Chains A and B, each alone.
Chain A
Amino acid sequence: MTPDDSNRIRAKQRARATVMALLLGFLVVLIFFITLSKIRSGMH
């Protein structure tokens, strides 16, 4: 395996990790708002 190949694998791993981090962050925000909605609907 050449250094170029190694770099390519690293770049793929980095891109996947970034996408995963963004998705998890989005999920945290979504669950926060779902919780607010549930609390609000429980109050009515």
Chain B
Amino acid sequence: MSSIPSSVFVPADWRDFLALTKPRVMTLVVFTGLCGMLAAPVGIDPVIGFTAIMCIALGAGAAGALNQWYEADLDALMKRTAKRPLPAGRMSRESALHFGVGLACFSVLLMGLAVNYVAAGILTVSILFYVLVYTVWLKRRTPQNIVIGGAAGAFPPLIGWAAATGEIALLPFLLFSLVFLWTPPHFWALALFVKTDYANAGVPMLPVVAGERVTRVQIGLYTIPMAIAAVAPWPLGLTGAIYGVIATVGTALFALYAAIVAFRHTVPDDTMKPEKRLFKYSILYLFLLFGALVVDRWA
């Protein structure tokens, strides 16, 4: 054990600041933002494009840091998050707050000055949405927290597109809708097999508040509009057959896995395999669709 007296200021490690930005979540954010940018009908200067993606990543990191600053008490109660820098006592809350606010301001300013103000505006909205609407307002109050809060994670393709074109069109709006509608089945599948963790922390996730049956039905119901948003760009003539075929097949498999989860009943000592499979596949599904979109645009 350390002999450092509590009155002595121990600086946090730089790796803890990195952990504060939730790098794993950032991967998906960067990927969908990059695909939104590459799917745009106009090219973007590589340096400006790189800067835009970096700003999206920094903005997401800032939102993650502010989320961890606000939820330090909650994170301490859950096994999955108890080792994060704040609940583990490796960093002061003040440092996390300053880091988060500083990073948010920097990412928005750089996006505005180097890329364009439309992209900077949407980046600002996405950070504020994640921190204020999801983290502060909804997460501890309603089981619909991730439905509305999911919008925060849906902004990156919109920002990527806006970075390239300076405006918003139907296709990035559909991509926004896809990620927005994908979030509930994705997170509720996770919440079904980590229910105890959320219950211990008092987070009103749907399985905790409304029960497993309702959650399963909701997973099935949200998959329907998600499937429409995923396939729609093809019949609307916004993408070609490459995206259309991959989206149709990928979505059919998603719908199958979601239907299995929706119609299933938990048995004693259940290993929750179908729920884990849906959760894992949902991540692959999003990568697949956005990847197909870029291939379709450049093929």
A12 and B8 form a contact (CB under 8 A): no
Q: At the interface, yes or no: B114 with Cβ under 8 Å from chain A? A: yes
A32 to B8 CA separation, bound complex (whole angstroms): 40
Is residue A1 contacting chain B, with contact meaning CB distance below 8 A?
Answer: yes
Question: Interface 1/0s, chain B 7-19, versus A by CB < 8 A?
Answer: 0101111100000
Residue tally, chain A, CB below 8 Å to B: 18
Residue of A with least CB distance to B4:
A5
Q: Which residue of A lies closest to B9 (CB)?
A: A9
Chain B residues near A43 (CB, 8 Å)? none
In the complex with contacts A13-B11, A19-B14, A36-B47 CB distance below 8 A: yes
- In the complex, the answer to whether B13 meets A12 with C-beta atoms within 8 Å is yes
Contact of A1 among B3, B12, B51, B54 (CB under 8 A): B3
Contact A16 B47 (CB under 8 A): no
User: Could you list 26 examples of A-B contacts with CB < 8 Å?
Assistant: A1-B3, A1-B4, A1-B5, A1-B8, A5-B2, A5-B3, A5-B4, A5-B8, A8-B4, A9-B4, A9-B8, A12-B10, A12-B11, A13-B11, A15-B13, A15-B14, A16-B11, A16-B13, A19-B14, A30-B51, A30-B54, A34-B48, A34-B114, A37-B48, A38-B114, A41-B45
Q: Which residues of B contact A (CB under 8 A)?
A: 2-5, 8, 10-14, 45, 47-48, 51, 54, 114
